[in-house]
């Protein structure tokens, strides 16, 4: 029917306002789209900052995120909160009856499967305490091998892709060789384009948090 709403699907929300980050996430999950699976749509929170890098940024996007989820609820079978700080995850789960998946939570669970100890590549040193709080809250503290920062902000990750990959490899090698990480979690959606070359360079599984969350959402929708 003309003007009718689209069939409900998985809505992946980028809580920062960077369209480039949203486009990168969309490309990273392209091969998760199946003719017989749910539609997957990536959207951008226009009110968000260009990158979510501080506790203040995290707090500031909670209210606009909840408003966006309320507005899109009729178009969604599940939501993905696609910032590695999982901003407002508890509030979003109270806002909607649809399942909501945080990308950090999903990535940590994926990386810890089969008893693996995992390392996290963070953007900035200031991000690490937030990550550790989430990991402890999930009961996964014993699975954390280490968390190291590349020292690049969200928007800086795309400035020089070759330099970014080189820095990711350097930090990943420290996590693998010094911290004994058996898997690596990418600590920012802006790192997604580097998953395959980083995994090839390190020789250990590299978990893209957006893919991990979308995988979990697909499974939840299939078994709803």
Band (114; pLDDT cuts 50, 70, 90)? low
Fold of 9-103+211-222: Rossmann fold (3.40.50)
The predicted model scores a pTM of 0.91
**Alpha carbon of residue 122 to chain centroid:** 12
The residue among 2 and 60 whose pLDDT is bigger is 60
Residue 153 confidence (pLDDT): 83
Residue 84 confidence (pLDDT): 92
Residue 5 confidence (pLDDT): 55
Band (157; pLDDT cuts 50, 70, 90)? confident
Band (2; pLDDT cuts 50, 70, 90)? very low
Q: Report the b/e string of 39-55 with b at 16+ CB within 10 A.
A: ebebebbeebbebbbee
Residue 8 confidence (pLDDT): 84
The pLDDT tens digits for 15-32 are 999 898 899 889 989 999
Give the pairing type, strands 118-122 and 183-186.
Answer: parallel
Q: Please state which CATH number belongs to domain 105-208.
A: 3.40.50.12500
Question: CATH 3.40.50.12500 occupies which residues in the chain?
Answer: 9-103+211-222, 105-208
């Amino acid at each position: 029917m003309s003007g009718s709403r689209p069939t409900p699907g998985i809505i992946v929300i980028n809580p920062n306002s960077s369209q480039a980050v949203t486009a990168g996430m969309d490309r990273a999950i392209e091969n998760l789209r199946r003719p017989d699976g749910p539609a997957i749509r990536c959207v951008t929170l226009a009110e968000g900052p260009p990158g979510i890098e501080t506790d203040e940024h995290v707090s500031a996007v909670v209210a606009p995120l909840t408003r966006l989820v309320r507005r899109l609820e009729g178009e969604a079978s599940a939501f993905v909160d696609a910032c590695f700080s999982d901003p407002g995850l508890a509030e979003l789960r109270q806002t909607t009856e649809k399942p909501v998946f945080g990308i950090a939570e999903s990535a940590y669970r994926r990386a810890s499967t089969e008893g693996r100890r995992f390392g996290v590549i963070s953007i900035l040193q200031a991000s690490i305490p937030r990550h550790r709080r989430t990991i402890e809250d999930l009961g996964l503290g014993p699975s954390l091998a280490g968390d190291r920062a590349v020292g690049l902000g969200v928007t800086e990750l795309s400035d020089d892709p070759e330099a970014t990959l080189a820095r990711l490899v350097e930090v990943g090698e420290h996590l693998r060789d010094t911290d004994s990480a058996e898997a690596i979690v990418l600590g920012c959606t802006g790192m997604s384009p580097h998953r395959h070359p980083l995994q090839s360079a390190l020789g250990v599984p590299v978990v893209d948090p957006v893919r991990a969350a979308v995988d979990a959402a697909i499974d939840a929708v299939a078994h709803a």
